[in-house]
Amino acid sequence: MSNFKHSLFRTLLYAQLFAGFSGAVAASQMDLSSASSPEVNQQGDKIITGKITDAKGEPIIGANVLVKGSTTGTITDIDGNFSLNVPANAILQVSYIGYVTQEVPVGNKDKFVIAIHEDTQNLDEVVVVGYGSQKKVNLTGAVEQVTSDVFDGRPTANATQMLEGVVPNLNISLSDGKPGRTADFNVRGTGSINGGSALVLIDGVEGDPSMLNPNDIESVSVLKDAAASAIYGARAPFGVVLITTKNATEGKPKVTWSSSYSLQTPQNVPDVVSDGYIWAQHFYDAYYNYNHSNPSGINKTQQFSVAWLEEYKRRHETGDFGTVISDGSIGTKGRYVYYPEGTDYYDIMYKNNVFAQNQNLSISGSDDKFDYYLSGRFYSYDGLFDSDEQTDKFKTYNMRFKSGYKLTPWLKISNNFEFSHNKYYNPITYSEGSGVIWRNIADEGHPSSPMFNPDGSLT
């Protein structure tokens, strides 16, 4: 039995050393003292011994005992005992997973019996699951939950973008950065060769979280394992995301207003070649090496010839840039021929900063029979493209009204009304009659062509 206890203790000790101590104190930094090391390392230090127990007096194996403000500490053995070399004025920090961290001053004492208590606040937290709600301590399935703290005060267009990187194993895929973009939710990786997205329920009804006011969200629960399929069947093979909105507060009417303003800056702007001649020379080399012939044009509007490239080289060396009208020797007679120094279309078309604002107002209250919650939101995004007419402006309006009336002690009538309106200008016709702007930049926005002709028309 003695060998078994020592073997178990060694296993727990190794596990603690590899896992690290609570409070982000690495085991490699600890002075792992033991009862068999009574030496005094510094003047005024002393050896203390003690025992760590739970509220019932049962010993806790592997509890962390740390001298506050230092890297000196140890862990308890299989009987909950510890021994540590500490300064006379030290304060002990005792911690263990699932228990409240406790601080104990050493003072003149040499022996300690310290009882730590369970973190009941964390264990009593209510988690929304398929058939209702449970306390965390009673959960058996793989469920992760975040509360409204994740969404408060963040200057983001919709709730979907706010959930990115918040819930473990919840992968959110956005096809682009548009402010009102709907996302695909994926739990624990792809479960089918055809892909698939998690089932998203808002107050029990399937919905789009990108249309939801983030300030209305009380909690978000993610059901990750087969327990979700047991409740929702074939609708939930890729997991379930349960979004619960806020309810009325108790007592007198409560008015809450919040306002935020932000300047957003593009972070990943392509680093493109902006020198017109350098780009044109590389274009010719690539085209000729692949096709073994000379190109007749760079795009739909700009003609190409070896004579034009040679003239462009001469102008590039002398600095004689500009746009001329062809006399027929280079290009079609009467058409514009471009010799620009270079054009960076991304720099021209994108703003350096984008202004956005978010306004929220909510009113709620209740009495013995009637309760209500009313909220409204306005979000405005000025657009990333540097144009007064065709920038990607976005505005959204949200309103929610929840109320309930208790007719009898066992009967209550309630409603949950939501209104959402988005207005977004998608710049798909910036330079052509059809096609998205990104394709237009790739096909037409080359540095060998300026954006405007001398007469003000687009090239």
Section 45-51 average pLDDT? 90
183 vs 407, residue with greater confidence: 407
Provide the pLDDT for residue 429.
Answer: 53
pLDDT surpassing 70 at residue 39: no
Q: Lowest mean pLDDT of 19-23, 71-75, 253-257, name the range.
A: 19-23
Strand partners, 50: 82, 112
pLDDT surpassing 80 at residue 31: no
Rounded to whole angstroms, the Cα distance separating 433 from 406 reads 58
Cα distances (angstroms) measured from residue 69 to each of 27, 66, 89, 110: 15, 9, 12, 20
Of 99, 37, 41, 14, which is closest to residue 65 (Cα–Cα)?
A: 99
Cα 358 to chain center, whole Å? Answer: 18
Give the position of tokens 């977004």: 424
Domain borders along the chain are 2-119, 123-245, 276-342+433-444
- Read off the tokens for 140: 């058996």
Phi, psi of 90 (to 5 degrees): -75, 160
Rounded to whole angstroms, the Cα distance separating 317 from 337 reads 18
| pLDDT above 70 as % of the chain | 78
pLDDT surpassing 60 at residue 48: yes
Sheet holding 81-87, edge to edge: 81-87, 45-53, 111-115
Provide the pLDDT for residue 70.
Answer: 85
Provide the pLDDT for residue 291.
Answer: 93
Q: In sequence order, what E strands does 313-393 have?
A: 322-325, 336-339, 354-366, 370-381
Considering the four listed CATH numbers 2.170.130.10, 2.120.10.30, 3.40.50.970, 3.30.160.160, the one that applies to the domain covering 123-245 is: 2.170.130.10
326-364 residues labelled b (16+ CB within 10 A) or e (exposed):
eeeebbeeeebbbbbebbbbeeebebeebebebebbbbb
Of 378, 380, 377, which is closest to residue 355 (Cα–Cα)?
A: 380
Q: What is the 3-state secondary structure (H, E, C) of 230-299?
A: HHHHHHCCCCEEEEEECCCCCCCCEEEEEEEEEEECCCCCCCCCCCHHHHHHHHHHHHHHHHCCCCCECC
Provide the pLDDT for residue 268.
Answer: 78
Provide the pLDDT for residue 393.
Answer: 86
pLDDT surpassing 60 at residue 322: yes
pLDDT surpassing 50 at residue 338: yes
Tell me which long-range contacts 282-287 makes (C-beta under 8 A, separation of at least 24): 283/446, 283/448, 284/309
For the chain, the average pLDDT equals: 78
Provide the pLDDT for residue 125.
Answer: 54
Q: Lowest mean pLDDT of 15-19, 117-121, 171-175, name the range.
A: 15-19
Of 209, 219, 203, 207, which is closest to residue 180 (Cα–Cα)?
A: 209
Q: Which residues contact 184 (CB under 8 A, 6 or more apart)?
A: 172, 173, 195, 197
Q: Lowest mean pLDDT of 142-151, 257-266, 364-373, name the range.
A: 142-151
- Read off the tokens for 343: 């054009």
- Res. 49 pLDDT band, cuts 50 70 90: very high
Check: CB of residue 34 under 8 Å from CB of residue 75: no
Provide the pLDDT for residue 227.
Answer: 64
Provide the pLDDT for residue 134.
Answer: 46
pLDDT surpassing 90 at residue 402: yes
Provide the pLDDT for residue 266.
Answer: 79
Section 435-449 average pLDDT? 77
pLDDT surpassing 60 at residue 301: yes
Torsion of CA 106, 107, 109, 111, to 10 degrees: 0
The DSSP 8-state label assigned to residue 372 in this structure reads E
Cα distances (angstroms) measured from residue 397 to each of 178, 180, 350: 17, 12, 26
Count CB atoms within 10 A of the CB of residue 127: 17
For the chain, how big is the Rg over CA atoms in Å? 33
Amino acid 5 reads: K
Sheet holding 102-105, edge to edge: 73-75, 64-67, 91-95, 102-105
Q: Lowest mean pLDDT of 7-11, 237-241, 256-260, name the range.
A: 7-11
Question: How confident is the model over 174-201, as pLDDT tens digits?
Answer: 777 777 777 777 776 665 666 677 788 8
- Read off the tokens for 166: 């918040």
pLDDT surpassing 50 at residue 231: yes
Question: How confident is the model over 92-103, as pLDDT tens digits?
Answer: 999 887 788 899
The CATH class for the domain spanning 2-119 reads: mainly beta
165 vs 370, residue with greater confidence: 370
Provide the pLDDT for residue 181.
Answer: 74
pLDDT surpassing 90 at residue 330: no
Q: Lowest mean pLDDT of 57-61, 236-240, 292-296, 358-362, name the range.
A: 236-240
Count CB atoms within 10 A of the CB of residue 412: 12
Q: Lowest mean pLDDT of 130-139, 220-229, 353-362, 418-427, name the range.
A: 130-139
Section 233-242 average pLDDT? 76
